[in-house]
Structure 1
């Protein structure tokens, strides 16, 4: 199958980027190259809002280098978009003509609404959120949106960004306490001009480089054990702590902060204040990073243009299907194990065994899609590979804690390995939660044993309670000896979790 590559160039006020995507077997786009240039075009806007000759030269030089990189791929499509600085430039016609003449790129200048819309589109197509406020702070503008039921309700673009705030409020590279206080007051006043931002009490979703750096700093300060930035959540106290920590540092130390790009050291404080002020105005329920932003939104629109809607029906289902495809998992086996797991789970639930709740089934069902996917790499260390892959791979539609729970269930092999995987995160769970996860993992593993030869030999099962014993009758077609051997061998994990003996009877249906 020939590989399909797509590219986008994002001409921002602070940075310019070229991103190359590979379209996967499942149809999703995976970023394979990301080239960044800190052009700071905003600094080349004159008082009359003309982009200077030097600014145009910087733009053309950077685009030419991007073009050379892009030419090493056979691209299906190349898109070049520009945001606030080019949008605000009074000589934008001259700029687009020179870009076309020098590079052949048809540079599309996004309107304020389009810039906000693409950020929103990226968030609702890559996170589980159905309601929230998005904020994307660039060098020269800040876009905010409010969405509900995954539909865009409001959008607005403020004419200030991290660069302009730094220039307008700070006399030197780093602010004084009074300057930070004045900046906060200004931002609170600006955000309060939009009634739809006030007291929403919904998640605040940060997009872009400033939000990404903020999260990286927080993760490094906490020595956060999970990989990945997308869908990472911070609280009000986390935002305050990071902001106060950065404020105390001189520029030399600020430039060496783990997680902070050196080229953003002078603008991270205004960016952080934007997030913190908006968090307070909206009385947010949490600050969540979306690693997907404007560039992704542009391509989501392209991918969905034949669907009649720009929204993927179910973000998580798309991600799970991507995993199934990537690791060549058997859909037939998944469906059968789901059927057996469903029967066993609900019979235990109906009989009041194991303290199972109906919502626990959703976790078991989700994990059944990707159980033991590490077998794709090495069957002997399948459990370890399964846990590592799921815990450290971004899964659109799953927050970090949900992803960790999925990894623990799908990698279950025995109590020892479960405790080993859980150890770095033990404080994240109550004792009862840990017990429940172990039980659900043991249940799922047992049901996989019932289809160990992938022949769907065990068609269904029936459970009866006899004091401290569970009598399980398994109705089969054909020869069931391999399944019986595996089930007898592995049932001990389920017995320990349920604190009951399990007697298995395999019978012909």
Structure 2
């Protein structure tokens, strides 16, 4: 599949969104625009579950607005999907026909099972977690899935969500303690009907806007040093603290709370109660967050139908670094030789005992080599600073936030002082030994980068020999390595920090 633009219109019970995406095989999938309208369609369902004329007109106005945007962006590839509000409406067929006639937009009505599946599909292809329970609380329904080793095992859709729970249990805009207890018991009793949930003792992964708000609230409370909520993780204790804070506030106080979208101020409390009920039933100690959900699942599924190798849920991190490197003008063909040299050097350092071989360390090192000093794309003289900021604050699929900082520290390595400066906000994240390992691995990477100075693949192999504390480094080349020789001697100090003794460098040009 070549480059293309596509759009998803997601007609939910609380909001209607238009999200525009681009995709190309080199740089991957990108969200380029996200426009929402808070329509609360669920509120237009009458006692007989017929959507009122007012609700139909509200939907039509939003779709006409979105159609104008699609025309301005010249996007013809569109998938418009509707979930609980339209699914639960007795006049859903009439609504869909009306929208096709009046807006030219064909709406696809998803079942609860389909909605759950595509949420799982996005999580499996963008998070590293191998097994988990997912929950996506919309305005009118709640979707749950259980996946094991990235394979879907069970799924279910409940016909209640944030807006319907508010309608059923809360008078006004502020949830009372009594209402909160009723919501908890209601959600818990529903969840307990699913035997695959009870005592699963797996992480719970939250999808959707309300889950995102929970993550943002926790990050605000902790003065979190990096951005992004994708694969952010909270403990049950963290969750309880945020829950107690939020459920104690009035509606007016919630509207002023940093990290909480004002349009969710009246529905965040019941959502948190539902999350807590699920964690209790599952027996989970960990709550994770996914920024990718239903819409991304639909787009990824579409791409995979045309190109079955475009995404692989079992090597999410590698795919993500591949796309990221290409975005900053370091495609695989440019970095392959450097990555190969880095792997050689790592094995040689392990062979003489300076490092203890660790498969995870090597994996992280190879990905860091792909992304080493990508900040050069912005400014060569400040490559290290830009690299650290980009990698530590960029959402990278397939790794936790701690691993993201680890990647950033290694791939941005310039010298010991800059490493210490970048590390300062994260002193509680890693142990002293972990910082030393990252610094040494970064120093090795910085030195190996010198062996590819001319970008001509001159260096073919590396060998290390140890005599006492001293190390003899033999570098075999297939041509004139003047540039590599100069840079290697300049950067030798980084190797000296890894080894106790002196490092001597010997370039050996192969004959023929």
The TM-score with structure 1 as length reference comes to 0.96
Q: Deviation digits for residues 251-293 of structure 1, max 9, x if unmatched?
A: 2111011111111101001111111211121122421111111
Q: 1:309 to 1:137 in 2, by over 3 A?
A: farther
State the distance in 2 between where 1:213 and 1:94 align: 35
Q: How does 1:217-256 map to 2 (within 5 A)?
A: 217-256=217-256
Question: How far does residue 330 in structure 1 lie from its aligned partner after superposition?
Answer: 5.3
Displacement of 1:23 after TM fit? 2.2
- CA–CA distance in 1 between the matches of 2:441 and 2:172? 57
Aligned equivalent of 2:491: 490
Residues 298-346 of structure 1 show CA distances to partners (whole Å, capped at 9, x for unaligned) of 1111111135699635322221221222112153452222222222211
Matches within 5 A, 1:125-204: 125-204=125-204
CA distance in 1, matches of 2:459, 2:201: 49
Secondary structure at 1:29 match in 2: strand
- The equivalent of 2:81 in structure 1 is 81
Change (3 A) 1:311 1:155: farther
Post-superposition offset of 1:26? 2.1
Equivalent position of 2:438 in the other structure: 437
1:384 equivalent in structure 2: 385
1:362 aligns with 2:396: no
Alignment of 1:402 with 2:393, yes or no, is no
> How far 1:82 moved relative to its partner?
0.4
Contact 1:4 1:76 (C-alpha < 8 Å) held by counterparts: no
Question: What SS class does the counterpart of residue 99 from structure 2 fall into?
Answer: helix
The reply on whether 1:506 has 2:500 as its aligned counterpart is: no
Q: What per-residue deviation string (whole Å, max 9, x for no partner) do you get for residues 54-97 of structure 1?
A: 11111111111111122111114011110001001111111111
Number of residue pairs the alignment of both structures matches: 508
| Residue 330 (structure 2) aligns with | 329
Q: Structure 1 residues 49 and 332, CA, compared in 2 at 3 Å: closer, same or farther?
A: closer
Once residues 448 and 37 of structure 1 are traced to their aligned partners in structure 2, the CA distance between those partners, rounded to angstroms, is 49
Give the direction of change, closer, same or farther, for the CA distance of 1:275–1:435 in structure 2 (3 Å limit): same
After TM superposition, the structure 1 stretch with the greater mean CA deviation from structure 2, 38-47 or 21-30, is: 21-30
C-alpha distance in 1 between matches for 2:72 and 2:374: 33
Q: Over residues 95-117 of structure 1, what are the superposed CA-to-partner deviations in whole Å (9 max), with x where a residue is unaligned?
A: 11111111011111101111111
The answer as to whether partners of 1:372 and 1:382 remain within 8 angstroms in 2 is yes
What are the superposed Cα offsets for residues 99-153 of structure 1, whole Å, 9 maximum, x if unpaired? 1111011111101111111101111111112211110000110000011122211
Q: Tell me if the contact between 1:121 and 1:311 (Cα under 8 Å) persists in the aligned partners.
A: no
2: CA distance, partners of 1:492 / 1:32: 44
- RMSD of the TM alignment (CA)? 1.7
Post-superposition offset of 1:378: 1.0
Mapping for residues 87-106 of structure 1, pairs under 5 Å: 87-106=87-106
- Give the match's secondary structure for 1:471: strand
Moved more, 47-56 or 193-202: 193-202
**Kept in 2: contact 1:133–1:147 (CA 8 A):** yes
Alpha-carbon separation, structure 2, partners of 1:29 and 1:323: 11
- What's the CA shift for 1:22? 2.0
- Stretch moving more, 300-309 or 414-423: 300-309
Q: Which runs of 5+ in 1 are unaligned?
A: none
Distance 2:36 2:274 in 1: 23
Instruction: Work out the CA distance in 2 between the residues paired with 1:332 and 1:58.
Output: 51
Q: Tell me the equivalent position of 1:460.
A: 461
Give 1:354 deviation, angstroms.
3.5
Deviates more, 1:443-452 or 1:475-484: 475-484
> Secondary structure in 2 aligned to 1:193?
coil
Q: Is residue 2:347 matched to residue 1:346?
A: yes
Deviation at 1:473, TM superposition (A): 1.4
